Structure 1
Amino acid sequence: MIKFGTGGWRAIIGEDFTKSNLQLLSQGLANRMIQENADEFVIGYDRRFLSEKSAQWMAEVMAGNGIKVYFINKIAPTPMIMFSVKEMKLKYGAAITASHNPADYNGIKIFTEGGRDASAEVTNEIEVEIRKIEVEDIKVMNFDKAVNEEKVVIYNPFNDYIDTIINMTDLKAIKDKQLKILLDPMYGVSKTSLQTILMTARCEVELIHDRHDTLFGGRLPSPSAETLGRLKNNVVEKGFDLGIGTDGDADRLGIIDEKGNFIHPNEIMALLYYYLLKYKKWTGPVVRNLATTHLLDKIAEGFGEECYEVPVGFKHISSKMEETNALIGGESSGGLTIRGHIKGKDGVFAASLLVEMISVTNKHLSKLLDEIHEQFGKFEMAEHGFGFDVEEKERLLKILYTDKKIPEFSFEVERVSYMDGVKVFFKNGGWIIARFSGTEPLLRVFAEMDCMDKAEIVCKEMKEFLGI
């Protein structure tokens, strides 16, 4: 019943996300920590229903097993928890969050040494350990008792996290520009941290959707063109320089430019990589997952750098960044980090760096994007998600992975990769990928071409071929 995906364990509240399952997972992790002589742990939580209580349940199991818990007792962005694992030199930590999933989900993200997402090897081994546990094996210490006995220590890394981002940002350039920023935390956890950074940099900051709402206003807490409608309208109507939206746990972001255009996460990655190379004169390769724009490849090539492709899952990005000393790494869903920061996605830091970019270059995002497209060409991506039941998934798996069949596309195929899902490369430089989501019951189909019409054509051909 407990199965980790690319973004941790996520499940529907009351169905699989229950106190008993959470305690079971916690005991499995505690057993592993004891085997590794890891006796300290940090945990934080987001604004979802049951998140704070779930963090306490997890802390009770850790304390019951003799593991000292640093408990972040205020809502915390996931990247701040990862930062804490890194700064405290801990072997493990966790966030209670289901990130951008619907409101009826919750979950747990496990972090390992250096402040990175747990690898598939680690989570697979935790799953094996969980299957060995009986109910009577679970050790629990009452939360209040654990606090009184200092087995659970109340901890607040807010200042250290904020100061680290401020020190990595050109605050003077931002102060001189005095930008007007509209922030949409999407009822999530970024409000305090990002607002503090921007106001410290003397930006004029206004907020929308910042109250505590466990239903996320009836929307997915995922920053996209569809969910950031109010942000888009307000940016244009009130003359903001930038609109920033962050997902439920603030590890990803979505951007609205000064003209009200949604800036796709692919373009955010391209903007930041280009900015770091050209304007800050930094050097280094870029790492992207295989469903992220090949515009990054072109930019890397233009500056004499390399672009590395990895499977979906930020753990693959952070590992490859470490291996290659990459400057930046990210994915098309809006998560990224740069060299020298945490080994995971940080929407708060990425937003701060975008504000710096506008200030240092004295150019709005639309102008900077025009600059990139003039040099490296334009890339358009079509994105689709198709739901399925168990029987349907088996049928699709057989077609794609067992029989390895693909459609007769309108464009000539160069090669096919099965690194993660099925990715078809076309001779015209475009591509299409079909892969099963690691966080939701969806088959994701992405295609990138030099125009949207072509991208939609190949998506339609894949859809009709698979009968979905």
Structure 2
Amino acid sequence: MIKFGTGGWRAIIGDEFTKANVRLLVQGLADRINEEAAFRPDGRPGRVVIGYDRRFLSDTAAWWAVEVLVANGVPVTIIDRPSPTPTTMWTVRNLDAAYGIAVTASHNPALYNGIKIFLPGGRDADVDVTDELTAHVATLTDADVRSVEPHVARTSELVTIQKSLNWYLDAIIDKLDIDTIRHAHMRIVLDPMFGVSETSLQTILLTARCQVSVIHDRHDPLFGGRMPSPTEGTVTALRHAVLESGADLGIATDGDADRLGIIDDKGHYLTPNQVLVLLYDYLLTRKGWSGPAVRNMSTTHLLDRVAQAHGQVCYEVPVGFKWISAKMAETDAVIGGESSGGLTVRGHIAGKDGVYAGSLLVEAVAASGTKLSELYADLVERYGELVMVEGAYGFTAERRSDLTSRIFEAHDLPDFAALGQETEKITWDDGCKVYFTNGGWTTIRFSGTEPLLRVFCEMPTHDEARAVADTIATYYALD
């Protein structure tokens, strides 16, 4: 019943996301922590940091976790207010905690909730850890779960209740060129999408003397009836707000604020790919940083062009931010990111952070002395342009079996040559990726967070990308 994907364990509330399953998962983690205690210098179990977002049951489930951990003798710091998932990751690192738990389903629909697990340093749990945890939890029953009563957990000496986010916010403020932002007198519109980023982003930007207005800030566990994911189709209200107010840009974040989407001064949606490339170029060109970049297999190759222009390397890894953060640590990369909207920068947490990314983009615009639309136009003039299209297709269990057999076992692919696209190579390490000789590419893989088959295609022109993506959809009868 409990299975980790690329972004933690996520399940439908009342179906698989239940009190019983949350308790089982946390008991499994507590067992692991107590086994590891023997290898710690003091012989005591390591601390766990717990945070939660504004989803239905998130705060309640966080305290379910506390009750289990206390019963197992594990010390806990709970950030007892809705907060960005990056806050939990930063606090794990800051407190030198053994693990972190964030109760969130990130950008999934409102009927989902879930749990993300973080390792020492605040990084996403890797596959070895989540596989071992999943296997152990599968051996447990409700009778194996140890728990204390709620009032015992709330008064336990093992529990530290943290209300402040200021340590995390100050860490971001210290990394920004606040003076440059302050004197640019920027106007920003924020769209937390009924999630948790409002307090954090507003505090940072007001500190930098920006004029800030906010939409969709109330607590709504249904997220206004939309996906809490800042895609082009979900930020229409933000676009209107930016244009009506004459703002310099708009920033939208997903439900737990680890991803972002951007509207520029002309009302155009900047994709996460474009934001990632803009920030990498800014750090190299204007900030004088040096080092490689890391992206996953479904993220823009324009990042590679920027790296190459500066004598650097861009590394490709599988989908899942844990792979990005691991490669960044290995190569001392400047930036790492993914096309779904998550990125991080060297020296910050080893995980995606929409609050820091949005703040850094504001700094980049302020430092340029131009509008965001002009800043991106200049980047295209220097590095060229690549256009990405994507599709997401649902399926039944039977259909998934058929697609798995046909695509990933039989390697039955469309005839891309009929479109005039010559194939350079094909990899099968994480789904399927086809590289074309014109520098374009396409990926086909199952989502690690939702029951979807995802198709990404990036080409020199939109027509080429659309043709490849449509050919894939037609060939497999996807809809």
1:316 corresponds in structure 2 to 323
How far apart in 2 are the matches of 1:168 and 1:420? 35
Q: Larger deviation: 394-403 or 243-252?
A: 394-403
Structure 1 contact 143–152 (Cα < 8 Å) conserved? no
Partner of 2:471: 461
> Does residue 1:49 correspond to 2:56, yes or no?
yes
Other structure's SS at 1:304 match = coil
SS of the residue 2:468 aligns to: helix
Paired with 1:208 and 1:290, the residues of 2 have a C-alpha distance of 34
2:248/2:372 contact within 8 Å kept: no
Instruction: Give the AA of the match of 2:150.
Output: F
| Corresponding residue of 2:443 | 433
TM-fit CA distance, 1:147? 2.3
Superimposed CA distance per residue, residues 370-415 of structure 1 (whole angstroms, 9 cap, x where no aligned partner):
1111111111000100001111111111111111121101111111
The residue type paired with residue 186 of structure 1 is M
2:253 aligns with 246
SS at match of 2:402: helix
1:5-404 correspondence to structure 2 within 5 Å: 5-37=5-37, 38-404=45-411
Task: Work out whether residues 80 and 157 of structure 1, in 8 Å CA contact, stay in contact via their aligned partners in 2.
Answer: no
Distance, in Å, in 1 between the alignment partners of 2:155 and 2:94 is: 25
Give the Å deviation of 1:183: 0.3
TM-superposed deviation, 1:178? 1.1
Gaps spanning 5+ residues in structure 2: where? Answer: 38-44
Aligned residue pair count: 468
Shift of 1:152: 1.8
Question: 1:117 is aligned with what amino acid?
Answer: D
Amino acid corresponding to residue 419 of structure 1 in structure 2: D
Q: What is the match of residue 414 of structure 1? A: 424
Give the Cα separation in 1 of the matches to 2:192 and 2:259: 11
Once residues 56 and 69 of structure 2 are traced to their aligned partners in structure 1, the CA distance between those partners, rounded to angstroms, is: 22
Q: Is residue 434 of structure 2 the alignment partner of residue 424 of structure 1?
A: yes
Q: Per-residue displacement from partner, 1:117-140 (whole Å, max 9, x unpaired)? A: 100110000011101112111000
For each residue in 1:228-255, what CA deviation from the matched residue of structure 2 results, as whole angstroms up to 9, or x when unmatched? 0010011111100110000000000000
Alpha-carbon deviations, 1:143-172, whole Å to 9, x = none? 321222322221135111010000000000
Q: Which runs of 5+ in 1 are unaligned?
A: none
Could you tell me how far apart the structure 2 residues matched to 1:130 and 1:236 are? 51
Cα distance in 1 for residues equivalent to 2:220 and 2:455: 31
Corresponding letter in the other structure for 2:291: G
- Given that 2:188 and 2:248 are in contact with CA atoms closer than 8 Å, whether structure 1 keeps it comes out as yes
Tell me the TM-score normalised to structure 2 length.
0.97
Contact persistence 1:181–1:244 (CA under 8 A): yes
SS of the residue aligned with 2:457?
Answer: strand
**Secondary structure of the corresponding residue to residue 22 of structure 1:** helix
Secondary structure of 2:234's aligned partner? coil
Give the Cα separation in 1 of the matches to 2:96 and 2:331.
23
Counterpart Cα distance in 2 of 1:183 and 1:407? 42
Q: How far 1:173 sits from its partner (Å)?
A: 0.3
Residues 84, 157 of structure 1: 8 Å contact kept:
no
CA distance in 2, matches of 1:458, 1:188: 35
Moved more, 310-319 or 129-138: 129-138
Give the superposition deviation at 1:39: 2.9
Please state how far the C-alpha of 1:368 moved relative to its aligned partner.
Answer: 1.3
Counterpart of 1:450 in structure 2 is 460
Residue 194 of structure 2 contacts residue 218 of structure 2 at CA under 8 Å; is this kept in 1?
yes
Runs of 4+ residues over 4 Å off in structure 1: none
Partner amino acid, structure 1, of 2:462: M
TM-superposed deviation, 1:12: 0.3
- Partner of 2:183: helix, strand, or coil? helix
Q: Secondary structure at the match of 1:226?
A: helix
Moved more, 45-54 or 132-141: 132-141
User: Aligned partners of 2:241 and 2:15: how far apart in 1?
Assistant: 38
2:365–2:372 contact (8 Å) kept in structure 1? yes
- Amino acid across the alignment from 2:423: V
Deviations 1:89-117 (A, max 9, x none): 11101000000000000000000011011
Letter in 1 for 2:374: K
Q: Larger deviation: 105-114 or 143-152?
A: 143-152
SS in 2 for 1:345: coil
Write out per-residue CA displacement over residues 61-87 of structure 1, whole angstroms, 9 at most, x where no aligned residue: 111100011111111100000000011
How far has the Cα of 1:275 moved from its partner?
0.4
Distance across 1 between alignment mates of 2:221 and 2:154: 27
- 1:4 matched to 2:4? The reply is yes
